[in-house]
Amino acid sequence: MLKRLEIVGFKSFARKTLLDFSSAATAIVGPNGSGKSNVAEAFRFALGEQSMKSMRGKRSEDLIWSGSHTTQRSNRASVAIVFDNRKRIFPKLDFEEVSVERAVFRDGSSEYLINGTKVRLRDIQELLASANIGETGHHIISQGEADRILLAHPRERRAMLEDALGLKVFEFKKQEAQRKLEKTQDNVREVEALRREIAPHIRFLQKQVEKIERAEELMRELATLARTYLSVEEAYIATERAAANERRGAANERLTTASAELAAFDERATTDSEGMKRAEAIRQAEREVDRITSERSALGREIGRVEGGLHEAKKRSASVAREPYVKVTREDLSTLREVVEEQSKIVEGETVEPGAVRAALLALRAAVGAFFERYAAPNDDFLAEEEHTVFKLENERVELMKKDEELEGAVERARSSLMKAREAALAHEETGREEKRRILGLAESKAREEGSVVREDGRLRELQMLADELERDRAEVLALAGVAAFSYEPLELAPEERRAQEDRKRQLERLKIRVEEAGGTGEDVRKEYTDATEREAFLMRELEDLSKSAEGLAELIRDLDDELTKTFAEGLAKVNHSFGEYFAIMFGGGGAKLVLEEFDAVEEDEESDEYEEETAGKKKQGKPGIEISVNLPKKRVQSLMQLSGGERALTSIALIFAMSQVNPPPFLILDETDAALDEANSRRYGDMIEELAKRSQLIVISHNRETMSRAGILYGVTMGADGVSKLLSVKFEEAAAVAK
């Protein structure tokens, strides 16, 4: 119920004014121009009225106290309506007292507050609609507007009726549902657009993922093959390396042994002085034999020369003995020539000893001298000389022969020494021949073991190359197939068949190439595909949710339409029943009712949610409007316009009271609606006020004594010379005395 009204700076209420509404009916009286109607406008202002015309102003600044010669103007006007919410007339607010306040400022801005908290106008409207306080103002009838409902357009009249029936809550719900439905439909279109947008990308990613899955299948094959290959290769290399190291170690030991023994023999050979002495003795004996032999050869040539000279000398001597003078004969010349040629050959010989050369030269000189002496000297002298020559040569020959005999003995002795030296050397060599055979065996063994070591070193290098290649394979397999390729148990022994491992190697290389060509794991692509598919699934779920939500909202709108139609029909019937009764009371008979009438609403109200577009530029088919049909007693009327001013006022009052009876608002404000009533109708009006006050709080602004007499509290509004409205309260007893 209405509890109080607080006014500050609104129109003529410059100071804070408080009106308490503790009675079912409260009357506000005062002289014209005192500002009593400003109370009704204060209610309109606080409840969110947007029409300045309804509040008798042109702009928001007109609602603020403008000041006087004694009172400064206000910069702010505010009105607060306080409700008692103990019966939860506002079910959404869990407060026992609810304050609805509106303030306006000179800059034109305004604010709305609920219990001191700033809210939107929409929030105010929804809150009031929940308590059947609509925005059409059917519960506030200002001065001169008593017949407004009669003069209204059928569509506006229907809105007033719906407001009075409390259908605004359903309208708000419907509008909210329609907004949500439109938003949902927009979201559906956006989601469908997003799905269409990502669909090609998902198809592309799906193909990429299929390639990745094929690559992963190849990777699994690679991992499976790699496990077998790597385990076998590791075992093979380890086994072969151990065997090669073992063989190399054994060969190296044997090589070390043979080398040590050979070194020992070499050491003994270098320290064998006896063998060296015997070898040196042989060499000396050979040199001695060669020297003596050469010397005897030279001596033999010398003997030959001397014997030749001796022979020639003897011939010359015999010739000289036969003739006193020597005659040069052809034979002498021939002999001389032979001697010269013979001796010349001796001199020109390449291997002639120096002594032989000298002997040949001497023989040549002697022959030439003898030749000239023979033919130049007497025969006796020449003979004596030739004989001397023969003697001399004979002696020389004897000496040479002796020497030759000596040299022959020396040769024999030298040869004997050589033979003995050789025999001694042979004897020494015979004693070391076994060692030579041992040395030869050791040398062969050393060479063989060196070959073995070199061969095993080569094998180890080959195995190291295999190990390096295996490490490269491991790295490549790790990069292509991951750690799954290494989950195997090491083998103790490698299979003997090497060809199978070579086949695995070839298969492994082919698989590595195929995996590389397939593009590897592509985790980024898979993640992107997963994200995209999850996004698409999310959009699909969201689309389903939105579709369900849209269906639910559409169903809600249909239910609200059904509820509105049903409630409106029931409310219309009740209003018509009360309208007829009140009309009969007001007019002493007759009847009146509200009639639904179809009409075409032109597009003059673009924001109304009561009309649905058929096509652009065409009329919109609206809901049926409300027409008023009256039947006055003893008078036939065709139209409301044929009623007099008083009749229209009575009809309006009857309709307003009827509408308030069906769904009573928390309060009803009547601003001089009884001004046109005579005394008899004023009593009827007062009776209806008393009846209506049982259902709604009434605030009546009136000059009518009959009306004032029906109020529990009477407020008087006065205005002094300062232009400020002041409030006086009078209790009921005092009001009754004043009224009489």
In a domain, 542, yes or no: no
Instruction: Say whether both 277 and 426 belong to one domain.
Output: yes
Q: Among 398, 424, 442, where does a domain finish?
A: 442
Q: Among 442, 467, 482, where does a domain finish?
A: 442
Query: What was the pLDDT predicted at 433?
Result: 67
Give the tens place of pLDDT for each residue, 713-734.
889 999 988 889 998 887 666 5
Long-range contacts of 364-368 (CB under 8 A, 24+ apart): 364/339, 364/340, 366/309, 366/313, 367/309, 367/312, 367/336, 367/339, 367/340, 367/343, 368/336, 368/340
Give the tens place of pLDDT for each residue, 448-459.
887 888 888 888
Answer whether residue 612 shows pLDDT above 60: no
More confident residue, 489 or 116: 116
The residues pairing with 140 across neighbouring beta strands, listed in sequence order, are 669
Give me the amino acid identity at 463: L
Give the tens place of pLDDT for each residue, 508-564.
888 888 888 776 666 788 788 888 888 888 888 888 888 888 888 888 888 888 888
In a domain, 27, yes or no: yes
Residues 6+ apart with CB under 8 A from 423: none
Q: Average pLDDT in the 320-337 region?
A: 58
In a domain, 48, yes or no: yes
Domain total of the chain:
2
Query: What was the pLDDT predicted at 113?
Result: 95
Q: Which helix (H) or strand (E) holds 421?
A: helix 379-481
Query: What was the pLDDT predicted at 102?
Result: 95
Query: What was the pLDDT predicted at 615?
Result: 35
Joined together, the tokens standing for residue 456 give 């095993």
Give the tens place of pLDDT for each residue, 18-32.
999 888 889 999 888
What CATH number has the domain bearing residue 19?
3.40.50.300
Average pLDDT over the chain, rounded to whole? 80
Find the domain containing 304 and state its range.
273-442
Residues 6+ apart with CB under 8 A from 207: none
Query: What was the pLDDT predicted at 18?
Result: 93
Q: What whole-number distance in Å separates Cα of residue 152 and Cα of residue 159?
A: 10
Query: What was the pLDDT predicted at 333?
Result: 61
Answer whether residue 76 shows pLDDT above 90: yes
Contact 82, 3 (CB under 8 A): yes
Give the tens place of pLDDT for each residue, 116-152.
999 999 888 888 887 877 655 567 776 556 667 777 8
Q: Which helix (H) or strand (E) holds 80?
A: strand 76-84
What CATH number has the domain bearing residue 312?
1.10.287
Joined together, the tokens standing for residue 728 give 């006086």
Query: What was the pLDDT predicted at 560?
Result: 83
Give the tens place of pLDDT for each residue, 655-691.
888 887 777 788 888 888 887 777 878 888 888 888 8
**In percent, how much of the chain has pLDDT > 90?**
10
In a domain, 593, yes or no: no
Q: How confident is the model at residue 9 (pLDDT cuts 50, 70, 90)?
A: very high
Contact 81, 89 (CB under 8 A): no
Query: What was the pLDDT predicted at 587?
Result: 82
Q: Among 442, 462, 488, where does a domain finish?
A: 442
Query: What was the pLDDT predicted at 722?
Result: 86
In a domain, 504, yes or no: no
SS3 of 616, please? coil
Query: What was the pLDDT predicted at 619?
Result: 40
CA angle 416, 418, 423 (to 5 degrees): 95
Q: What whole-number distance in Å separates Cα of residue 582 and Cα of residue 24?
A: 21
Task: Give φ, ψ of 358 to 5 degrees.
Answer: -60, -40
In a domain, 223, yes or no: no
Q: Average pLDDT in the 238-267 region?
A: 84
Q: Average pLDDT in the 424-451 region?
A: 73
More confident residue, 687 or 338: 687
Give the tens place of pLDDT for each residue, 276-313.
777 777 778 778 877 888 887 888 778 878 777 777 77
In a domain, 228, yes or no: no
Encode 214-233: b = buried (16+ Cβ within 10 Å), e = exposed: ebbebbeebbebbbbbbbbb
In a domain, 598, yes or no: no
Q: What whole-number distance in Å separates Cα of residue 613 and Cα of residue 136?
A: 24
Give the tens place of pLDDT for each residue, 85-108.
998 888 889 999 999 999 999 988
Q: Which of 629, 560, 633 is nearest to 597 (CA)?
A: 629
- Token look-up 């949902």 returns 184
Query: What was the pLDDT predicted at 302?
Result: 83
The residues pairing with 714 across neighbouring beta strands, listed in sequence order, are 27, 730
Contact 626, 161 (CB under 8 A): yes
Joined together, the tokens standing for residue 101 give 């306040």
Q: Average pLDDT in the 337-350 region?
A: 61
